[in-house]
Amino acid sequence: MSPKVKYLLATALVLTAWIVGFMMGGAFRGQPGNAQGGTAGAHNEATEQALRREAAKRVGTVEATDGEQTKREPWDRARLEAAAKGLMREGSIATIFRRAILLMDQLGPEDFPLVMELGDGKKEFGDLAEIIGVFCTARWAELDPKAAAEYMVKKEKLGGWIDIDGHLLWNVWGSKDPAAAVAFAKGMKDSSNRDSALKVIVQTMARMDPDGALDFAKLHAPEMLAKGEFSRELSENALASRPEDMARRLASIPGSEQATTTAIREASIRWAATNRAAALDWAQSLSEPAVRDSALAGVYQQWFHDKPQEAAAAALAEARYGGDLDAVATVGASEWSLDDWQGAAGWAEKLPTEKERTTAYGALGERLGRDKPQAGAQWMEALPEGPAKDEAIARYVVQVESKDGAGAMAWALTISDEKKRQETSRRVVKSWFARSPASAFEWLQSSDTITPEQRGELLGK
């Protein structure tokens, strides 16, 4: 089965299995609720027994009952093959999915290795072997996840581009007993499989209980916090959380890795959309610089897009109280509509520190170079010499070089800082030569805007 087909099949399998399992109370009973797993509500035992008997009839099995106790007849290879061939005669894939779930519900932990071996060894079953294998993994993980994991590690069934078996195993085990799942995962020799397992377990816990997942990770998987992995998984898999709760939760994670600060910015954007004043007060109260910058950038992002003058006034007022506006400077220059680029430029000029002006000028120069190069040239002509103008030019020429190599070089050579001028000029020449070597060489040989020393430098002589 091709990877693409396998991916599509897996998506359909998981969705169908969850829906059917939820409705019938058979396989896939574990529903989000707490870290120990457990259904949202208990099923009536009599109904459960009836469903099991009906399942047995449908998949061609026989169950003997003794009072209220159900005794499973032992499964052997011939019986499993007969059940699988019965599934093959079904025309509807939906029916195959439903009956595969029912078949898995008749098996005990001791039967699953045989089922997996049967699917691997019987080419005649084709894609059906994949279907049975996926459902077998999920059901086995429900009943005895450690045994399922040990089998898959031994048989090297984990890993690969689309690790369906691994995702199901760690999802089910992580919802039932995350501590045991993490302990097993950490003991695996393959680092790729180990990291994938921890990621799925955290995803599962984050959906069920974000705060519990954070506490759990601090205790059992601190390496995920250190790498920023947890922040990304938490923000992507707990979107039902209130944005203010998510923002505070993320800010409590130690360190300021890029994944964490990015997640904080995204949570701040969502919070500001519902209560900008509260989100801004919270962001201003943060003490960790990187976290504070990310939170402020998130709060101001949509504000500058929708009401730039109002956001600009608020940012400048914040600066008067000693706030660091470097992150806000980037957001303001990036989100302000270019229909009013003069307004953005005027605001950037008022920023109190050279660092903030340099940041804003660079972002605005890049945007103007990409979308309004003539306006950008007009603006840069009037800027005073210094680091802020140099940054605007350096970012501008990167955007215009592909359209006007000679114009980009002319601007690059006006940068006042020698090191920055050389770096920018070389970058433009390299890109120009890669795109149009003849015109680039002709310009370098004939231009009277560069000195012989600069020409030799740019040609690598």
**DSSP secondary structure code for residue 228 in this structure:** T
Local confidence pLDDT in tens for the 461 residues of the chain:
444 444 444 444 444 444 334 333 333 333 333 333 333 334 444 544 554 454 444 444 444 444 444 555 667 778 877 887 777 777 677 787 788 788 888 888 788 888 887 766 555 555 666 777 788 888 888 889 999 899 888 878 776 555 788 888 888 998 888 889 988 988 888 888 888 888 888 778 877 777 777 787 777 777 766 665 666 666 665 555 677 777 777 777 765 556 567 778 888 888 898 899 999 998 888 888 888 888 899 999 989 999 999 999 999 887 665 556 888 999 999 999 999 999 999 999 999 999 999 999 999 999 999 999 999 999 999 999 999 999 999 999 999 998 898 899 999 999 999 999 989 988 888 888 888 888 888 887 777 767 777 777 666 64
pLDDT given for residue 18 in this prediction: 41
- Of 117, 173, 118, 131, the C-alpha closest to 148 is 173
- Of 349, 294, 303, the C-alpha closest to 326 is 294
Q: Judge contact between 329 and 353, C-beta under 8 A.
A: no
Taking every pair of Cα atoms in the chain, the longest distance, rounded to a whole number of angstroms, is 102
Element (H, E) at 65: strand 64-66
**DSSP secondary structure code for residue 254 in this structure:** S
Helix axes 178-186, 145-154, angle to 10 degrees: 20
Taking CA 448 as the corner, what is the angle to CA 442 and CA 450, rounded to the nearest 5 degrees? 90
Residue 443: helix, strand or coil by DSSP?
Answer: helix
- Of 283, 287, 288, the C-alpha closest to 300 is 283
pLDDT given for residue 51 in this prediction: 45
pLDDT given for residue 320 in this prediction: 60
pLDDT given for residue 361 in this prediction: 97
pLDDT given for residue 365 in this prediction: 96
The residue with tokens 């992002």 is: 301
Distance CA 350, CA 237 (A): 41
Q: Judge contact between 176 and 37, C-beta under 8 A.
A: yes
Domain extents in the chain? 1-208, 209-306
Prediction pTM value:
0.60
Distance CA 149, CA 44 (A): 31
Residue 38: helix, strand or coil by DSSP?
Answer: coil
Interior/surface letters 334-361, b for 16+ CB within 10 angstroms, e for the rest? bbbebeebeebbebbeebeeeebbbbbb
How many angstroms from the chain centroid is the CA of residue 397? 32
Q: Judge contact between 153 and 188, C-beta under 8 A.
A: yes
Distance CA 403, CA 191 (A): 46
pLDDT given for residue 15 in this prediction: 41
Distance CA 224, CA 423 (A): 37
pLDDT given for residue 34 in this prediction: 38
Distance CA 171, CA 167 (A): 6
Residue 35: helix, strand or coil by DSSP?
Answer: coil
pLDDT given for residue 258 in this prediction: 60
Distance CA 327, CA 333 (A): 10
- Non-local (6+) Cβ contacts of 124 within 8 A are none
Return the structure tokens found at 148.
């399922």
User: Is 238 buried (19+), middle (13-18) or exposed (0-12) by CB count in 10 A?
Assistant: buried
pLDDT given for residue 79 in this prediction: 81
The residue with tokens 């499964």 is: 75
Q: What is the dihedral of CA 123, 129, 133, 135, to 10 degrees?
A: -170
Q: Judge contact between 157 and 141, C-beta under 8 A.
A: no
pLDDT given for residue 236 in this prediction: 62
